Amino acid sequence: MKEAQGLQRGRVGARPAKARRARGTMSAAPAPRLVPARVLIRPTRPDDLEEAALLERRVWGRLAASLNELQRRLFALPEAFLLAELQVPGRPAQIVGLTNALVWTREFPRSYAGYEKMLPSASHNPRGDILYVASIGVDPGLRGRGVGSRLLEETLEVGRRRHLKVARLIANSRSQSLYIRAGFAVVRPLPGLFRRHRDLMPKPALMECPLA
């Protein structure tokens, strides 16, 4: 389990103090208390899946994987199903990010024409050499704080430990910069994918990252 950077100390739940009290009244209010917060990257447990499915829907809307599909992904490759958990003292832990991946063969899929109808878990093949990142997402309120980068980094480490050759995913124009920083490159655009979901997947493209 690893702690994401940039969230260890944050103003969580603190109200801004008034700059100054009127003369002749009580002394100025104490400065707001800094509440330490951290994000922990950890493996997923079966009892996490309902909350993970809710986050998946917040991130991906109508393209979100179902609870049953997430269960199958966890069963297929549990070490690659990771969660980002926000921990604030005195509050229940909250899942704010997730990623999951499967193993595919290099020859699969032969065509991306039917990709939208395919369940990624149905194509998991433990003998393959491709780590396919099926889903990665961060709660909208915590984006831009390095949580997605840490989730992706830990996922790629799973592929390296398994001695896989390449990591592969479908990106859109909003997420490509995250993947490029992690070492991915665009293989080819996939303009035929997600035509009815351009608001969620603008300019989809196949991206790959070498693992060996």
pLDDT tens readout for residues 101-145? 999 998 777 777 667 778 899 999 999 999 999 999 999 988 889
Q: Where are the alpha helices (DSSP H) in 2-146?
A: 49-60, 67-76
CATH number at residue 180: 3.40.630.30
Residue with tokens 């989730």: 151
Please count the structural domains in the chain: 1
3: in domain:
no
In this structure, which amino acid lies at residue 112?
Y
Asked whether the predicted pLDDT for residue 35 surpasses 60, the reply is no
Q: How far apart are CA 38 and CA 25, in angstroms?
A: 38
Q: Which percentage of the chain shows pLDDT scores above 90?
A: 69
36: in domain:
no
66: in domain:
yes
Q: Give the CA count within 13 Å in the CB-facing half-sphere of 36.
A: 5
52: in domain:
yes
Out of 23-27, 142-146, 160-164, 173-177, which region has the weakest mean confidence (pLDDT)?
A: 23-27
15: in domain:
no
Does this model's pTM top 0.85? My answer is: no
Q: Which percentage of the chain shows pLDDT scores above 70?
A: 83
pLDDT for res 170: 94
- Residues 16 and 32 sit within 8 Å (Cβ to Cβ): yes
Domain range for 108 is: 41-210
2: in domain:
no
Q: How far apart are CA 83 and CA 45, in angstroms?
A: 9
